[in-house]
Homo-oligomer: A and B are copies of this chain.
Amino acid sequence: MEDQDRYQRGWEKLKEVDGEAGERVIGSLADIAPDFARYLIEFPFGDIYCRPGLDLKSREIAVVAALTALGNAAPQLRVHINGALNVGCTRQEVVEVIMQMAVYAGFPAALNGMFAAKEVFKERDESGQN
């Protein structure tokens, strides 16, 4: 498989999962690190997200869980709460994943995840999304 395929496939997957927010991230890297933007499309989205063996919903559940637990990447957590909803998670499922993190990473991490979800849900309400 040639790199052109990875890029194209990754770009489609990035748009499917992250939507406009993903495109904005790529755009914002154009003037400082365009190669990094390309890697971000190729490796996470062209290689990993396209793999069989785990459905997209479960991948996003894993990512929302990890970013809530780490607690040091707020913008990416918001992107992936949107991503989880974009690929078929319900809001309730997102809330449950975040709540589960109170047990494994503490209440502050879960609280900050919950407030991120609240913001994302409000934005989606305003633009008529699920």
Residues of chain A whose beta carbon lies under 8 Å from any beta carbon of chain B: 1-3, 6, 25, 28-29, 31-33, 35-36, 39-40, 43-44, 47-48, 51, 53-54, 58-59, 61-73, 75-76, 90, 92-93, 95-112, 114-115, 117-118, 121
Contacts and interface: CB of A to CB of B under 8 A. Distances in A.
Given A48-B99, A54-B93, A58-B93, A66 B63 contact: no
Given A65-B66, A93-B58, A48 B114 contact: no
Of A48, A104, A111, most buried by chain B (CB within 10 Å of CB) is A104
Contact of A36 (B35, B39, B90, B99): B99
**3 A-B pairs with least C-beta separation:** A73-B108, A62-B65, A54-B96
Given A39-B43, A66-B69, A54 B105 contact: no
Number of this chain's copies in the complex:
6
A86 B105 CA distance: 22
Contacts of A98: 33
Contacts of A95: 32-33, 36, 53
B100 A36 contact: no
